[in-house]
């Protein structure tokens, strides 16, 4: 496990840069931050180009540059800023799982282990302002995994006027840091893939590649799957792997909450459930594959938010398919 510290820059009390890094495979310097305004950025007289986010969540600038520079003097609106440039593993042709989380150390190990069984090569976790106790606990729990990478993504989840920019900037960060990865699965820690036509031995990478072979992969930005929402309506145990035994769910698979295996070379920006700039996604039938969304995980049992996944009238069906894959 490796922990990374992104480069942050605030100008006039505004969060402008959430990270700056060099992408070796495409030889570009990438700058990512929340969409809060227009900034002219240059390096050594060379202006950065900007990719427009029509959803107004993420600012992304790039500069074609032939070599990695550990430190740069950026000129932003006429002022000089001396900044560290990060250089991350690129995971070329690998299958990655990426998420952001906050205070979910009690559920992250189960999630990582479950997904790794299906052929995931690397997991990138963007820790979004967990408490020090929770963060240190997560590090202790995951330290034995040499294919887990943690980013200290300590930025506001909502940041006006850019909205849910901690998540959208994280998605852009993963896409551009690993531009030549085969796929990047964008799933939360309460979301678990469940193949519908296979039993043990299912390999998600082979499954996705077989789908691409039947289509024109250059015209596909992502392969998407629908979600089946589960609720703990009987106050059943949720600790450890106990929540897998909770089988109360909604009747229909929900494609409005679809999640994606992004093909990063074909996508520049996304926003949670949709691609903002890039090729469109291919949505799979829930008869092939879906994901279980355990709405109640890590949610308090009182208050308005605590009711999520606990409304007794909303989960009238049952589904225990995931138990075929849980050790």
Over the stretch 64-102, which tens digit does the pLDDT of each residue have?
999 999 999 999 999 999 999 999 999 999 999 999 999
Q: How many angstroms from the chain centroid is the CA of residue 113?
A: 17
Token couple for 168: 């959208």
* 51, 137: one domain: no
Would residue 206 count as lying in a domain? yes
Question: Of 4, 29, 2, 7, which Cα lies nearest the Cα of 84?
Answer: 7
* 148, 271: one domain: yes
84, 109, 134 - which closes a domain: 84
User: Is 70 exceeded by the pLDDT of residue 58?
Assistant: yes
198 vs 87, residue with greater confidence:
87
Would residue 90 count as lying in a domain? no
Please give the pLDDT value at position 168.
96
Please give the pLDDT value at position 302.
47
* 79, 127: one domain: no
Please give the pLDDT value at position 200.
73
User: Is 60 exceeded by the pLDDT of residue 121?
Assistant: yes
Are 138 and 152 spatial neighbours (Cβ–Cβ below 8 Å)? Answer: no
Percent of the chain with pLDDT over 70: 98
Mean pLDDT of 196-204: 84
Please give the pLDDT value at position 310.
82
Lowest-confidence pick of 23-27, 80-84, 231-235? 231-235
Question: Of 54, 19, 1, which Cα lies nearest the Cα of 177?
Answer: 19
Mean pLDDT of 191-220: 90
* 73, 219: one domain: no
Please give the pLDDT value at position 300.
61
pLDDT tens-digit map of 300-326: 654 444 577 887 778 999 999 999 999
Going from the C-alpha of 136 to that of each of 141, 192, 193, the distances in angstroms are 9, 24, 27
Mean pLDDT of 143-162: 95
* 192, 80: one domain: no
User: Is 60 exceeded by the pLDDT of residue 21?
Assistant: yes
Helix (H, G, I), strand (E, B) or coil at 111: helix
Mean pLDDT of 208-219: 89
84, 118, 133 - which closes a domain: 84
* 284, 167: one domain: yes
Burial tier of 124 (Cβ tally within 10 Å: 0-12, 13-18, 19+): buried
84, 114, 132 - which closes a domain: 84
* 170, 193: one domain: yes
| Structural domain span for residue 228 | 95-324
> Cβ atoms within 10 A of the Cβ of 260, count?
25
Would residue 167 count as lying in a domain? yes
Mean pLDDT, the chain, as a whole number? Answer: 94
Residue holding tokens 């990695």? 68
Would residue 172 count as lying in a domain? yes
Mean pLDDT of 290-294: 97
Write the CATH number for 169.
3.90.550
* 20, 77: one domain: yes
Please give the pLDDT value at position 297.
92
* 186, 79: one domain: no
Would residue 89 count as lying in a domain? no
* 104, 80: one domain: no
Q: What are phi and psi of 15, to 5 degrees?
A: -75, 110
* 133, 72: one domain: no
Instruction: Give the chain's domain count.
Output: 2
Pairing of strands 317-318, 248-249: antiparallel
| DSSP track, 3-27 | EE----EEETTEEEESEEEEETTTT
CA-CA distance, 326 to 321, in Å (whole number)? 10
Would residue 15 count as lying in a domain? yes
* 101, 222: one domain: yes
Are 184 and 96 spatial neighbours (Cβ–Cβ below 8 Å)? Answer: yes
Please give the pLDDT value at position 298.
82
Mean pLDDT of 43-58: 95
CA-CA distance, 143 to 179, in Å (whole number)? 26
Token couple for 90: 């690129």
Please give the pLDDT value at position 304.
44
Would residue 11 count as lying in a domain? yes
Would residue 8 count as lying in a domain? yes
């Amino acid at each position: 496990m490796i922990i990374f510290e992104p480069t942050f820059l605030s100008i006039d009390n505004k969060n402008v840069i959430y990270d700056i890094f060099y992408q070796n495979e495409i030889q570009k310097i990438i700058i990512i931050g929340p969409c809060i305004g227009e900034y002219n950025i240059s390096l050594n007289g060379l202006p950065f180009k900007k990719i427009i986010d029509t959803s107004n969540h993420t600012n992304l600038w790039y500069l074609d540059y032939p070599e990695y520079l550990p430190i740069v003097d950026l000129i932003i609106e006429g002022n000089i800023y001396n900044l560290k440039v990060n250089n991350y593993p690129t995971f070329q042709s690998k299958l990655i799982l990426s998420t952001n989380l906050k205070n979910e150390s009690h559920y992250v190990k189960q999630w990582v282990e479950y997904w790794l069984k299906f052929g995931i090569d690397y997991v990138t976790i963007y820790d979004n302002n967990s408490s020090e106790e929770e963060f240190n606990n997560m590090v202790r729990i995951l330290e034995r995994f040499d294919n887990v990478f943690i980013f200290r993504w300590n930025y506001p989840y909502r940041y006006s006027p850019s909205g849910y920019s901690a998540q959208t900037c994280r998605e852009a960060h993963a896409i551009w840091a690993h531009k030549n990865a085969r796929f990047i699965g964008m799933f939360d820690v309460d979301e678990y893939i469940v193949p519908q036509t296979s039993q043990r031995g299912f390999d998600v990478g082979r499954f996705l590649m077989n789908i691409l072979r039947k289509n024109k992969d250059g015209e596909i930005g992502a392969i998407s799957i629908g979600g089946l929402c589960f609720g703990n309506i009987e106050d059943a145990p949720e600790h450890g792997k106990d929540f897998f035994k909770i089988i109360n769910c909604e009747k229909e698979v929900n494609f409005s909450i679809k999640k994606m295996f992004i093909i990063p070379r074909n996508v520049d920006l996304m926003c949670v459930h949709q691609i903002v700039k890039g090729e469109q996604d291919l949505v799979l039938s829930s008869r092939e594959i879906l994901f279980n969304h355990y709405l109640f995980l890590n949610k308090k049992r009182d208050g308005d938010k605590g009711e999520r996944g606990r409304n007794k009238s909303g989960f009238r069906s049952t589904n225990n398919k995931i138990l075929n894959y849980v050790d």
